[in-house]
A and B are shown apart, each in its own frame.
Chain A
């Protein structure tokens, strides 16, 4: 037992948590499978009876897991995008076009020393990244990714989003305070001042949409914008969308409002003393936040998962099961034939190449075509796939805008930041609300009068 005890004692606090929670989850999952095998009927009945809880558990797990590839993708986008804007090459070593570098980044932060500075408050220091990360994940819970693809359908989803999103500042302040470093402290205080100031125009900017929609449920908001792209709220709320975008940039601590981690002023702000996975959580949370504010921008003003035009209802009438033995032949023969067909032009036009070059290119091309075909089939066959595709396309467009701004703009100063929030954005948000409410009143009066 001494070996186990010594190993246990050597673990840091996060290690202890991980080594407790992960086996627990594994045991629960195994128990579920075993229970399903032994008492299938009864277990299914219990699960069916508690469907909302099961659905929530599955959705929460999926969203928690989804944050990691999302962060990887955005980190890669940022590295490559800024590199191209800087006329650099950017990552090009790990994976095709360096696309796996962010995965390596993730592994790197896992393997680095997780250091607590002398004088820091270890408990608060450890909890701070958890709070920041969890607030990001919890905010993601209400975002509708597609028809039926959402964590929880709350009737006050927007309110919940702002409430949970505001928790980020607690984490940043905790990290800044507990680090026992003056740069961190300044960064934490800056984040408190900045995020709380920008919370106000951010919340006020969506009031116009709320007046128009009459609901706070994000699903309902998206359904209200169904149809052509002219039905999106951006056309009725351009000012609101602009204010929302600017305030959301400040909320996500992105350039030009990245004062909390201003590297040329306060080194790395609240994250100065963090290393290892605790820094990794801050790092991930930042990029998840970028995704979240882009997603909310899309949901509120750009039609969410709606296509910009009503897609004609098509159906392929394709049931794979009806093909019978043909399906088997399809799977067995088509890849080989297609690979050879795609390879043929390279063999004919590039005789100097070794033959396997053509084979590899043909196989890759076949895979691309096959994936495109499957996605296309799924797009027309399943509503949620179509919705997810449009949602992600729009969201990543805004993520790209954030990356673009980071590559282009310098940082504002703290007094300019505050002036901008309190003297411009808040007034504009109020004007937006008054105009929207006035327009609604006028339209109501006209329509009831006639």
Chain B
């Protein structure tokens, strides 16, 4: 009789399987390779692992986090990255300079323009190209629109991760109008592929300008109204106040940038600290908050939306006439050298370090993404917190996995 080597299926007792299934497999399937791994994957009494992601409603993409929990308390956690890894850097090193811009979009799929921007800036530095002023203004205008759409979405998802169903849909009203606006000049709703080396792909058109005027006339009141559901909500405020608090020194040491850093009180904004494009000519504030908790990170995004509206207003008033692209040959062969360009994105500093060896392809193409650096602080922020807090902290950091996994 061979039946004793076969196991009854738990689904159907009449079915026998060759091997016992249904018992959890060991995580990770290989023996621990580092000290940290050995320590993390050793369970003490009363602890268990719970796997969050990569397919989970609130991981903002395909982030996977293995949590070691004791009841509701998170003892330790281990983010697992790489589920969206496509090898973009290597792809770009094997592509024409123009082609690499298209690879930039999916890195930051919520605010794609901010990944194109440093790439074209780096190439412009390599090529010594003067970008026409109108193109710079168009870049700033579309970039700030994209920043608003990204921040609006971040606010909505923050509420959704705390269980509020409604704010996300209010956010999507604003975001939908903005992506429609951008689609009318770029042709795409999500991955715009709009910036070009030495300019932009298309000029502003009538559709864009008329819709933008309508949207701008009510944007501020709409955003104010949308935030009312959360800012004055006792449950939302109580869950976020003091949650995942970060002091400015640690934040700087953990390489935080963007709204998350400014929420800790450091007024570091690349638009002011290392000015690029036409930002020195524009009048806007760098909002900061001192608390550094999830609530501050949420509120500072609202403040930034207001500043972005101011910038858009100024861009529309001061938009010069002229060409939108510099005259460049189709095949680019920049001089051998290296260039670094960084922009202030909705999540922090997006930077590109490009090395040219004189051919038509970048020799080395390094992408710096802020979300990756924010994710590495999970263990600091989750000190003595509960499972539900992880969702709030993750939402307040607002990572985009496309850039994290590259």
Q: What is the interface residue range for chain B against chain A?
A: 35 or more
Contact B388 A410 (CB under 8 A): no
Contact B239 A264 (CB under 8 A): no
Contact B58 A408 (CB under 8 A): no
Contact A118 B163 (CB under 8 A): no
Distance, CA A185 to CA B386, complexed state (A): 16
Contact A409 B233 (CB under 8 A): yes
| Closest partner residue, chain A, to B392 (CB atom) | A413
B316 lies within 8 A of chain A by Cβ:
no
CB distance from B293 to the nearest CB of A (A): 14
Q: Chain A residues with Cβ under 8 A from B9's Cβ?
A: 118
Given contacts A116-B11, A263-B57, A264-B160, contact A413 B388 (CB under 8 A): yes
Given contacts A118-B10, A264-B58, A265-B58, contact A410 B164 (CB under 8 A): yes
| Closest partner residue, chain B, to A121 (CB atom) | B10
- Other-chain contact of A118, B22, B233, B391 (Cβ < 8 Å): B22
List the one stretch of A254-262, A277-285, A315-323 in contact with chain B: A254-262
Contact B235 A267 (CB under 8 A): no
Distance, CA A255 to CA B160, complexed state (A): 13
- Other-chain contact of B22, A85, A88, A122, A180 (Cβ < 8 Å): A180
Q: Chain B residues with Cβ under 8 A from A245's Cβ?
A: none
Given contacts A88-B169, A262-B163, contact A267 B10 (CB under 8 A): no
Distance, CA A122 to CA B11, complexed state (A): 8
- Other-chain contact of A410, B22, B72, B162 (Cβ < 8 Å): B162
Contact B235 A85 (CB under 8 A): no
B269 lies within 8 A of chain A by Cβ:
no
| Closest partner residue, chain B, to A264 (CB atom) | B58
Contact A412 B239 (CB under 8 A): yes
Given contacts A182-B48, A414-B72, contact A409 B164 (CB under 8 A): yes
B315 lies within 8 A of chain A by Cβ:
no
Q: C-beta contact mask, A371-389 vs B, less than 8 Å → 1, else 0?
A: 0000000000000000000
Q: Nearest 9 CB-CB pairs, A to B?
A: A411-B163, A119-B22, A118-B22, A410-B164, A410-B162, A264-B58, A86-B169, A118-B10, A410-B163
Contact sample, A vs B, 20 pairs, CB 8 Å cutoff: A82-B165, A85-B166, A88-B169, A116-B11, A118-B11, A118-B22, A180-B22, A182-B50, A256-B235, A262-B163, A264-B58, A264-B163, A406-B165, A408-B164, A409-B235, A410-B159, A410-B235, A410-B236, A413-B386, A413-B388
Interface, chain A (partner B; CB < 8 A)? 82, 85-88, 115-120, 122, 180, 182-183, 186, 189-190, 255-256, 258-259, 262-267, 406-416
Interface, chain B (partner A; CB < 8 A)? 9-11, 21-23, 48-51, 56-58, 71-72, 159-166, 169-170, 173, 229-230, 233, 235-236, 238-239, 386-389, 391
